Each structure stands twice: as C-alpha cells, then as structure tokens.
Amino acid sequence: MKRSSLPHKGLQKFAWIALFGFVLFIFLWNAGGSSKIQTYTRDTLGSFGAVSGSLDSISRWIGTFFTSRNKLALRIEELETVNQELSIRSSLLEARIRELEQLSNFPEEKTVQGIRALIVSQAPAMPYGTLLVSFDEGANVRPGMKALGFGGVYLGDVSEAGENSAVIKLLSYPGLLSEAWLERLALNVTLEGQGGYNFKFSLPRSIKIEIGDKILSNTNPQFLVSVVEAVEEDPAMPLQQILLRLPLNIRNLRYVELIR
C-alpha cells in the first residue's frame, strides 16, 4: 500500500512560510528598532550638547572671574610698591629736614665756596670712614684740603688726590684724633673717630655737658663738626665720655666742597 506524501509536503510549506514570516518580522523589528535607536541617540546627543554648552558658559565665566581677580591682585601689588616708594621718599625728606634744623642755628656767613666734588663711592664699597669723590681735571685738589658738607659742616680732609678724583678721610675714621672746639664752654677738645660716622671725646665729670652742645672745627674760619648726642658716666671713673655723630646723613649727600 502506497503512503501519501501530501501531509508531509504541507508541513514543509508551512515551515517555509513560518520561517519567511519570522525573518520578515525580525527585519521589520530591526528596522523599527534602528529608528528608535537613532531617535534615542539623537535626543541623547542633543541633551549632551546642551549640557556641554552650559559647561562652556560656566567655564568662560570662571575664566573671566579669575582673570579679573589676577588683574586686581596685580593692581594692588603696584599700589603697594608705589606706597613703599612714597614712604621711602618721605623718610628721606624727614631726615633732610632734621639735618637742616640742626644746621639752622649755624651762621651762614661762615660757609665758603670751594671746589665742588661729586661723591662717587662710600662704605661699604670704600673703606669705612672714607669717601671717594670726583671733580674736573685741573681743579688742583691736593692732600690736606678740607671737605665740607652743605658748605658749612666739616667732614674731614683729603688724604689722597689724583687728576680728577680724591679720597677723603672723615673725622669719624676709626682711631683718628682731631682737635675741635666746644662752643658753649669755650674748651678745646680732642675728638677720637669711632667709625660709622661717630666720634667721642672725654672730659672730667665735674664739667657739665648738655645734649645738643655744638662742636666746631679748630680752624679759621670755624665750621660745624657735630653736636653732643649722649653723655656716658661711670661713677668709678673720673672722666665722662661724650658721644658725637656727624650732623648729616652722608648717604643723602651728593656733593662736597673742597677748600684749602
């Protein structure tokens, strides 16, 4: 008896139709899914772009803030520098005023005109207690000439001289002895240089010395040398030490007058 093949063929046809339908379903699903993915991707990237734009704005704002802050800091630093310079100038002016006040009681007629010399070097470039000055060639500067500050303060003497420069040894040169005149008491005194623009002399304790007493040069004409700054007394010693200092700031002095 011959078996019929119709049911078998029908099953094969159904299987192919089902497979074709499944493939078509997968294709359509994938096509729709791709659209969804594309839409999702586009929306996601759009949101990210918006966030990125906001971050860029914030970044620019932060950059502007710190730039302004740096400019303000630099401006403050410039103002502090200017303030320091003004403070230094004010201190120099105050020192100059004090020097002029000390010189105000000294008679102007005792000032003289000599060879004007520019101070080009001093301590620490030069040995302490000396000044290097320069002047025009042919000025005929010689050792032993006196050096005056502001035309009336006796600073010291020329110790070495060349064609256009000279070395001045100040009265405050360490160990240097100079004769001077204590004006108020009309006494001859011997000054001893201590270095650092300071000098001293000694007198018996019985002699009353006052702060501010003038010390004049023992020359003709006389010039101001210094004023008494302090008096040191030791009960065990018969002598008192009188401390002096140049009545001007050498570092603020640019020129000296050299006279014979």
Percent of the chain with pLDDT over 70: 64
Specify whether the CB–CB gap between 228 and 244 falls below 8 A: yes
Pair 134, 255 in one domain: yes
Pair 94, 169 in one domain: no
Tell me the one-letter amino acid at 42: R
Query: Which range has the top average pLDDT, 36-50, 62-76, 133-147?
Result: 133-147
For residue 10, pLDDT over 80 is answered with no
Radius of gyration of the chain (CA): 49
Tokens read off for 38: 């594309």
Pair 122, 86 in one domain: no
Is 6 a domain residue? no
Residue written as token pair 């030490």 = 241
As for how many domains the chain has, the answer is: 2
Is 132 a domain residue? yes
Mean pLDDT score of the chain: 78
Q: Provide φ and ψ at 179, rounded to 5°.
A: -80, 140
Considering only residues 28 and 190, tell me which one the structure prediction assigns the higher pLDDT: 190
Considering the entire predicted model, what is its pTM? Answer: 0.57
Instruction: Write the pLDDT tens digit of every residue in 139-166.
Output: 999 999 999 998 889 999 999 999 999 9
What mean pLDDT is predicted for residues 73-90? Answer: 74
Query: Which range has the top average pLDDT, 69-73, 76-80, 119-123, 160-164?
Result: 160-164
Domain extent at residue 19: 13-104
Tell me the one-letter amino acid at 107: P
Q: Provide φ and ψ at 150, rounded to 5°.
A: 55, 25
* Final residue in a domain of this structure, among 104, 132, 156: 104
Nearest alpha carbon to residue 158 among 176, 173, 145: 145
Is 144 a domain residue? yes
Is 129 a domain residue? yes
The number of residues in the chain equals 260
* Final residue in a domain of this structure, among 104, 122, 141: 104
Pair 112, 100 in one domain: no
Pair 202, 116 in one domain: yes
Considering only residues 111 and 152, tell me which one the structure prediction assigns the higher pLDDT: 152
Pair 116, 100 in one domain: no
Is 177 a domain residue? yes
Is 75 a domain residue? yes
